[in-house]
């Protein structure tokens, strides 16, 4: 119906300077800052400001985004030097000073604000991120019982949206890109803490090496950076304790008789 607009945009009466670190692999030798003057309103996120630039000023600017509601994990970037999701960072909280946007720290830049995600996904894949049933059960036999208390043991770790902000915050990952890192450790703990799972030993083994859990120096900035209160630092610490215990237990009994995945 024409008489009542079904979509209204708040009037953009103010202007913010957006400074974006650009990098175009064929034409740029190194990343360079480019500034845009962008009209904005107080309800706008940094993502919406970037979209406004792309749609009205500069179609060559590249960045990832999708859900706009801090659940898909696509739009992580450095905003004024901090790892943030662009979709739930609001210009009103940063104005009137210029806003600086850079690709996520510690990752190779592919183009503009787009960084390489594949290595992070390989880390996730390496820690057996699926239920290895402690007691196999048929579908007909119904669900596994799991009390709210048993759920609480792993639930917060299952909330990780894979946005990689914790990797951008982590100095150890910055120094050693092979470090398994906080996000994958949180995922590992999500399964190791699940009462349905019997794959604990397999996963502990996967992080026992020098790029595993022991690379963490307990700085804790990963948990500060997390937009979902997943607390990956806690996951890392829990696994340090378990990994240490596991290490000493190996002197006492051979591994194949230890607390293995299928025992």
Residues 37-96 within binding reach of another protein (CB under 8 A):
41, 43, 54-56, 58-60, 62-74, 88, 90
Q: Which of residues 213-242 bind another protein (CB under 8 A)?
A: none
Based on CB atoms, which residue is closest to another protein, 32 or 219? 32
- Cβ proximity to another protein, 143 vs 256, nearer residue: 143
CB of 194 to another protein, least distance (A): 6
Distance in angstroms (rounded) separating the CA atoms of residues 197 and 55: 47
| Cα angle: 227, vertex 201, 218; to 5 degrees | 40
Told to check if 262 binds another protein by CB under 8 A, we report no
User: What three-state secondary structure class fits 36?
Assistant: strand
Least separation in angstroms between CB 83 and another protein: 16
Give me the count of residues in the chain.
Answer: 263
- Whether omega for the bond prior to residue 96 falls within 30 degrees of 0, making it cis, is yes
Indicate whether 196 belongs to the interface with another protein (CB under 8 A). yes
Q: Applying CB under 8 A, does 178 fall inside the site for another protein?
A: no
**Structural tokens at position 116:** 């390489």
Burial of 82: CB neighbours in 10 Å, binned 0-12, 13-18, 19+: middle
Candidate residues 35, 96, 98, 155; the one interacting with another protein per rule CB under 8 A? 155
Give the integer Cα–Cα distance in Å for 160 and 150. Answer: 18
Nearer to another protein, 30 or 210 (CB): 30
**Footprint of another protein on residues 108-137 (CB under 8 A)?**
110-112, 114, 117-118, 121, 124-125, 128-131, 133, 137
Site string for another protein, 156-175 (x = CB under 8 A): --xx-xx-------------
Angle between helices 182-192 and 232-252 (to 10 degrees): 60
Lookup result for tokens 């009542």:
4
Question: Which one among 13, 29, 30, 142 touches another protein, defined by CB under 8 A?
Answer: 142
Least Cβ distance, residue 134 to another protein (angstroms):
12
Burial of 218 by CB count in 10 Å (0-12 exposed, 13-18 middle, 19+ buried)?
Answer: exposed
- Burial code (b: 16+ CB inside 10 Å, e: under 16) for 182-197 equals bbbbbbbbbbbbbebb
**Residue in 143, 210, 251, 256 binding another protein, rule: CB under 8 A:** 143
Contact stretch for another protein (CB under 8 A) within 5-13, 177-185, 232-240, 244-252? 5-13
């Amino acid at each position: 119906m024409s008489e009542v607009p079904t979509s209204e945009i708040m009037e953009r009466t103010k202007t913010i300077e957006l400074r974006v670190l650009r990098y175009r692999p064929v034409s740029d030798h190194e990343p360079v800052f480019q500034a845009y003057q962008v009209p904005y309103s107080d309800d706008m996120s940094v993502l919406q400001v970037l979209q406004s630039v792309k749609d009205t000023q500069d179609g060559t600017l590249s960045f990832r985004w999708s859900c706009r509601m801090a659940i898909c994990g696509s739009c992580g970037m450095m905003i004024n030097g901090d790892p943030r999701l662009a979709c739930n960072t609001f210009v009103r909280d940063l104005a009137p000073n210029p806003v600086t946007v850079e690709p996520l720290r510690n990752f190779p830049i592919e183009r503009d604000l787009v960084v390489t995600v594949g290595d992070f996904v390989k880390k996730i894949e390496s820690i057996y991120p699926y239920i290895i049933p402690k007691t196999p059960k048929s579908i007909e036999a119904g669900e596994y019982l799991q009390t709210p208390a048993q759920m609480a043991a792993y639930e917060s770790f299952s909330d990780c949206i894979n946005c990689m902000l914790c990797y951008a915050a982590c100095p150890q990952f910055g120094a050693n890109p092979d470090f398994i890192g906080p996000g994958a450790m949180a995922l590992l703990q999500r399964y190791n803490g699940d009462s349905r799972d019997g794959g604990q030993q397999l996963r502990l083994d996967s992080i026992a090496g020098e790029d595993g859990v022991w690379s963490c120096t307990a700085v804790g900035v990963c948990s500060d950076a997390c937009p979902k209160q997943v607390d990956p630092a806690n996951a890392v610490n829990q696994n340090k304790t378990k990994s240490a215990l596991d290490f000493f237990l190996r002197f006492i009994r051979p591994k194949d008789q230890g607390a293995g995945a299928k025992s």
